[in-house]
Structure 1
Amino acid sequence: MPSHIPSPDRTEEFLCLLTEHEPRLARYATLLIPHLQDSDEVLQEAKLVMWRSFDRFETGTDFGAWARKVVFHQVLKFRRRPSRRLQPFPEETLELLASEIVGLEKELDYRQTALAVCIAKLPDDHRRMISLRYFDENPIEQIATQLGRKTDAVYQSLSRIRRSLHRCISDAIQVQGRSV
């Protein structure tokens, strides 16, 4: 494992670029590897590769494209591991998917922003439930216990909240003249 790191004068440049692009890279990895733990692992490995090879990155070129390429290669490397989970499609399909994701980046950014705005509009108890389920990844049964509710009631509440968020995002997209 190479121990090469960027020169000190490029460390700040790397950190700024990575911070700017990290949400898109995380989304990209998650879309290519649907298991969150696996996509997080791949993204961490990709960041290490980027860090170690940053001296070869040319300032002024497209960091996002370079970083996505690194992530994509780490995805391929992950998929070839004998211990990996079953992947739903072949590498050729993965390559097509990756290029489609790049083409949809602005739309995905807009939807992500709309989702954040819509979540902020939810009542506190709904935001808490969404956070427990989708950010903390708690199982429904644990959420029910935590909230002192029945499991079926939590399922129904989450379903209503998701429909509400979908309507809110759809409305935001229509206002901006974008398609759903």
Structure 2
Amino acid sequence: MHGGTGSSNRADAFAELLHEHHRGLFSVVYSLVQHHADAEDVYQEVVLVLWRKFDDFELGTNFPAWAAQVARFTARDFLKSSRRREYCFSDDLLESLIEAYKKRESDYFTTRARLLEGCLDKLSKRDRQLVDLCYAPGQSKAAVAEKVNRSLDAVYQAISRIRKNLARCVKRGLAAER
């Protein structure tokens, strides 16, 4: 599939992305299939398809969205071909379910992104600068530590604290909107 060292790096990237997003991906499959054993089978098929198509995926783009689209199509194909079902969804109903799920998924991320942006705006100038530096493309934590004249450990601790505070802030925002 891949050759040389790049093969190992791509495989590692795939494994890391899949590990990070496997719960959400399984949820997509289960929400469409609605039967745990079938969802496990379909999920395994999704993983195989993702791996086969991983060369087409551009690292740094939205893996969850790409993987969810593959999962939706794989689940749809499973439901269409399933002979074990007493009923089968029509193509129109299946497409409606997929569209509704995509909208809900989009709303989910849009809401959280909006709340996160508001929480980032509430950070102190020093914390915001650290976040901006740490998450700038191609920026290593060691380079950031040197720029801000702090130890590498201090940078990691500060980022960990900031991320926890941001997560709490987003949760509070979600609770307030309900």
TM tier relative to shorter chain: 0.5 to 0.7
Residue 89 of structure 1: how far off its partner (Å): 2.9
Residue 176 in 1 paired to residue 175 in 2? yes
| One-letter amino acid of the counterpart of residue 54, structure 1 | F
Taking structure 2 as the reference length, the TM-score comes to: 0.54
1:63 is matched with 63
Where does the alignment leave 5 or more consecutive residues of structure 1 unmatched? 111-171
Aligned residues of 1:50 and 1:70 also touching (Cα < 8 A): yes
| Secondary structure, counterpart of 1:59 in structure 2 | coil
CA distance in 2: counterparts of 1:8 and 1:46, whole angstroms = 21
CA distance in 1: counterparts of 2:40 and 2:79, whole angstroms = 14
| Secondary structure, counterpart of 1:70 in structure 2 | helix
1:124 is matched with none
CA offsets 1:30-62 (integer angstroms, 9 cap, x no match)? 110111111111111010110121111111221
Q: Which has the higher helix share?
A: 2
Q: How does 1:73-152 map to 2 (within 5 A)?
A: 73-81=73-81, 83-87=83-87, 89-105=89-105, 106=108
CA distance in 2: counterparts of 1:54 and 1:175, whole angstroms = 34
Percent same amino acid among aligned pairs? 33
Structure with more relative contact order (C-alpha pairs < 8 Å, separation 6 or more): 1
CA distance in 2: counterparts of 1:7 and 1:175, whole angstroms = 41
Give every structure 1 segment of 4 or more consecutive aligned residues whose post-TM-superposition deviation is greater than 4 Å.
Answer: 172-175
Taking structure 1 as the reference length, the TM-score comes to: 0.53
| Secondary structure, counterpart of 1:104 in structure 2 | helix
2:72 is matched with 72
Q: Tell me the matched-pair count.
A: 113
| One-letter amino acid of the counterpart of residue 63, structure 1 | F
